[in-house]
Amino acid sequence: MNEDVKIRAIALYLPQFHPIPENDEWWGKGFTEWTNTAKAKPLFRGHYQPHIPADLGFYDLRVPEVRDSQAALARNAGIEGFCYYHYWFAGRRILERPFTEVLMSGKPDFPFCLCWANETWSGIWHGSPGKILIEQTYPGEDDHKAHFKILLEAFTDRRYIKVDGKPMFLIYKPQQIPNCRETLSLWRTLALRAGLSGLHIVGFGSSDWNSRDHGFDAKIVSPLVRERPWVSRRSPVKWLKQTLNKRRGIPTIHQYTTIVDDHIASIRNAPSNKNDDHATYPCIVHAWDNTPRSGANGVVLVGSTPTRFVEYMSQAAKLMRTADSDRRILFLKSWNEWAEGNHLEPDLKYGHAYLNGIRKLLQSTRT
């Protein structure tokens, strides 16, 4: 990339790697995402499984040194910060310990923001789609006020990532929130009362979703969140083949380059993101394989390599070259979703190759 455009790369971060009572009850004592990761097996010729962590091993996120090491790896790669998944179920929090300790301790001294992963937890990825573990509900204004009070502790931290001086907050399922515009307006009012400059609220959605009409400042377009190609674009022939493959124990397989090309095409006509224009932020995926959770019901992207990923990232970065400097944001999915084969953290196969590629690309874009 030849243009002098500094990209703000932010990696999504999963706090699932420590035991909690709920997972003990649902899946067995000591369950974490490592349980699924470690038991994975190859399901077809050339299938890369299991993914074994390199530098950090099978870590526990309750350990401060682990979180420090993660931040050091990300910082060295030029990544600006982590976007921690945040869970709020009508006043009930879950998996909150790692981020709470980051917030309370002041360490690591590494920027962060939050993404409300507002979806019902079910057993779908474990072969029990009808099993509801925790239902995502929206009781009303009092609950939204209580939620904001919790979020304010993070928003006022000096490390919190901002856009135009406003804390950036992501919502994973924005269209599921009743009266969403009113809720976001309430939160902005509460933010101003708390002495903040406002909020920069971003929703995940398809390329044709009008996030502005729902009260958002920006939207994120991801190949996994927008109309998933492996679900919505299957021909009858492909559907039959995939059905037969599942009976043989083979997951749905897609070519990485096809997904990348579709994603770049979907965001190429995004707004310029200048000044008060509505922003669109790409969220790029370097790999995907959720068979450790889902077996033959999973989906695998094949053909991803560090070189191909960097080419993809470079294309996405070029789409941001005319954006206002604060809005040259590129989300990376993900830092550590190991049971979905979706981790930038080093493994035994690729080592630091993905992180080194990111570092070189981001260095080439800095002014």
- Note down pLDDT in tens along the chain; length 367 residues: 444 568 999 999 999 999 999 999 999 999 999 999 999 999 999 999 999 999 999 999 999 999 999 999 999 999 999 999 999 999 999 999 999 999 999 999 999 999 999 999 987 656 566 788 999 999 999 999 999 999 999 999 999 999 999 999 999 999 999 999 999 999 999 999 999 999 999 999 987 888 889 999 999 999 876 444 443 444 444 544 555 566 678 999 999 999 899 888 887 765 555 544 578 999 999 999 999 998 998 999 999 999 999 999 999 999 888 888 999 999 999 999 999 999 999 999 999 999 999 999 999 876 4
Return the number of other C-beta atoms located less than 10 Å from residue 168's C-beta.
Answer: 26
At 232 the pLDDT is: 40
Q: What residue ranges define each of the domains in the chain, with the CATH number in brackets?
A: 8-365 (3.20.20.80)
pLDDT attached to residue 291: 95
Tell me the C-alpha to C-alpha distance, in Å, between residue 250 and each of 46, 49, 51, 145.
12, 13, 18, 46
Beta bridge partner(s), residue 132? 122
pLDDT digits over 31-42, tens only? 999 999 999 999
Q: Could you tell me if residue 106 is left (phi over 0), alpha (psi between -120 and 50 degrees) or otherwise beta?
A: left
Is 321:5 a contact under the CB 8 Å cutoff? yes
* pLDDT, tens only, 282-306: 999 999 999 999 899 899 999 999 9
- Report CA-CA distances (Å) from 282 to 137, 207, 271: 28, 10, 12
Distance CA 194, CA 214 (A): 23
Reported pTM: 0.92
Q: Given this model, what pLDDT does residue 322 score?
A: 82
What's residue 2's pLDDT? 42
Nearest to 330 by CA among 256, 258, 273: 273
Distance, in Å, from the CA atom of 160 to the CA atom of 323, rounded to the nearest integer, reads 21
